[in-house]
Amino acid sequence: MANVGTDLPRCVPLGGTFSLNARSFLTGTPFSSSKYTVFPGFCDVHVHFREPGFSYKETIASGSRAAARGGYTAVCTMPNLNPVPDCPENLSVQQRLIDGTAVISVYPYGAITRGEQGETLADLQGLAPGVIAFSDDGKGVQSPEMMRRAMREARALHKVIAAHCEDNSLLRGGCIHDGAYAKAHGHRGICSESEYAQIARDLELAAETGCAYHVCHISTKESVELIRQAKKSGVDVTCETGPHYLVMDENDLREDGRFKMNPPLRTREDREALVAGLLDGTIDMIATDHAPHSAEEKARGLEKSAFGVVGLETAFPVLYTKLVLPGVVPLDRIVHALTEAPRARFGIPMGQDYTVWDLDAEDTVESARFLSQGRATPFAGWQLRGKCVATYCGGKPVYPDDKTSVCQKASQSSPSADGE
């Protein structure tokens, strides 16, 4: 992927209309030189912007500006909100906030069940025109029959079901992976089966119903293999994993709430299986599961802190530094998983969306400088390569802008949302 010409920015992917359009668009800007690399705008299909209902954790304004700083021009927001977007009336509350405050393209999910309680189907038909897909993220749908009904209706509506796979009967109050670290430090663990057992169930239902099925934040080697085999058998399934699962495992854990997320960091073997799955296409895309909380909610150690970490502002530098530069995963594969794959699966258009990076720039992760209201990152203190210098959404500059300081608000104390 050598640069073409000495005065042009490098484009990834190289060639075709993207390179021509990107270089033409950047002509006359400070970013038209070979010092910079331009990518299509990143797309994250799994974020929590907390609004409406929990704006002390994050707002659509702060979350979307953080996304722009990370090179993202499109995100999909999960429905564990208040009110839960389980009917058009509730969805409209969130949509008004998006329309009024988002600086990038924000696509809301609709809930699968009323209140994400798993007991009654949400108004899927009424929601369908205004949502990107359906999910009860933060909770697994426990009833097989409820999931079957949801899949049948989603298929009729030509919508994706995006599942947070978690069997509640296997959780047993765990806070981290049920592995060596949990045993050594006396923590209750979350077993791998709590994830992959529900994936196995849902893959059978997806095969039966013909539903377009997407698995959120997979973390276990068993999950990778189940999805690999399902794809081979023709099931319409895609999946995502997060940057932290690709570069960290339970050996990196510390007694600190910034290492607590759901699903948890698992074993080295699980991490290696995830990387292999990304390389062979079993894992389609990378999503951050950006899940901000207040400082107070993340200051209670591994046992008592809320589940969830932030990731939009660190995702690409982490992936580039830890996977691309050592030669573990090619840059093209990372970029595909951040751009083309999520957009293709969820039908998200790519207009004049570009993100410009200085891949030689080095920086230390300091959460105090985040534009997100969330500060809990497992990458604090890491030395990373790659700095976003500009992001354009729909041809308009969205990072940097003159409003980013607006998002630097002090966190406040308030009751937590369910799950991540």
Distance (Å, whole) CA 93 – CA 85 = 8
Q: Residue 257 half-sphere exposure, CB side, CA atoms within 13 Å?
A: 21
Q: Tokens 């749908």, residue?
A: 141
Q: How far is CA 338 from CA 37, 70, 102, 331, 341, in A?
A: 15, 11, 20, 11, 7
Q: Are strands 354-364 and 10-11 parallel, antiparallel or unpaired?
A: unpaired
Amino acid found at 322:
K
234 DSSP 8-state letter:
T
Q: What are phi and psi of 316, to 5 degrees?
A: -65, -45
Q: Are 258 and 264 in contact (CB under 8 A)?
A: no
User: In whole angstroms, what separates CA 21 from the centre of its chain?
Assistant: 27
User: In whole angstroms, what separates CA 321 from the centre of its chain?
Assistant: 19
Q: What is the longest distance spanned by two Cα atoms in the chain?
A: 61
The closest of 371, 363, 411 to 391, measured between CA atoms, is: 371
Q: Is 137 a catalytic site residue? A: no
Percent helix, strand, coil in the chain, to 5, is 35, 15, 45
Distance (Å, whole) CA 219 – CA 180 = 16
Question: What long-range pairs does 154-160 form, CB within 8 A, spacing at least 24?
Answer: 154/124, 154/211, 154/212, 155/209, 155/210, 155/211, 155/212, 157/124, 157/125, 157/128, 159/124, 159/128, 159/131, 159/133, 159/134, 159/212, 160/132, 160/133, 160/134, 160/212, 160/213, 160/214, 160/345, 160/346
Q: Residues 6, 8, 10, 13: is their CA dihedral positive or negative?
A: negative
Q: How far is CA 42 from CA 11, 83, 257, in A?
A: 14, 28, 28
Distance (Å, whole) CA 268 – CA 266 = 7
Catalytic pick from 178, 289, 353, 360? 289
Amino acid found at 231:
K
Q: Which residues are catalytic?
A: 289
